[in-house]
């Protein structure tokens, strides 16, 4: 992504005309949209089978996973 230096340090870089805005290129927009879609959809896809099979939320599973990997001295 192309960046532009702020010509006036006393002025916020977001101030100014809309035509000065830098937009994502088509490949950048496609990548960003894919990433955001993944970030929004993945937790639900992971949590659904956990709920059905073990009655756990994704948060509960991740918590248990971290605890199980902790050194034994930290757990007891």
pLDDT of residue 8: 54
Give the Cα separation of 64 and 70 in Å (integer): 10
Q: What is the pLDDT of residues 32-41, one digit of tens each?
A: 999 999 999 9
User: Domain boundaries in the chain?
Assistant: 31-75
Rounded to two decimals, the pTM is 0.53
pLDDT of residue 1: 52
Residue pair 57/50 in contact (Cβ under 8 Å)? The answer is yes
Q: What is the pLDDT of residues 5-46, one digit of tens each?
A: 445 555 555 555 566 778 999 999 999 999 999 999 999 999
Which letter, b or e, does each residue of 48-68 get, where b requires 16 or more Cβ atoms within 10 Å of its Cβ?
A: eebeeeeebebeeeeeeeeee
pLDDT of residue 20: 77
């Amino acid at each position: 992504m192309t960046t532009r230096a702020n010509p006036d340090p006393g002025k916020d870089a977001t101030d100014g005309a809309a035509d000065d805005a830098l937009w994502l290129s088509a490949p950048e927009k496609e990548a960003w949209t894919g990433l955001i879609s993944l970030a929004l959809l993945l937790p639900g896809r992971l949590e659904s089978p956990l709920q059905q099979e073990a009655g756990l939320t994704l948060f509960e599973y991740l918590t248990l996973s971290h605890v199980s990997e902790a050194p034994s001295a930290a757990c007891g």
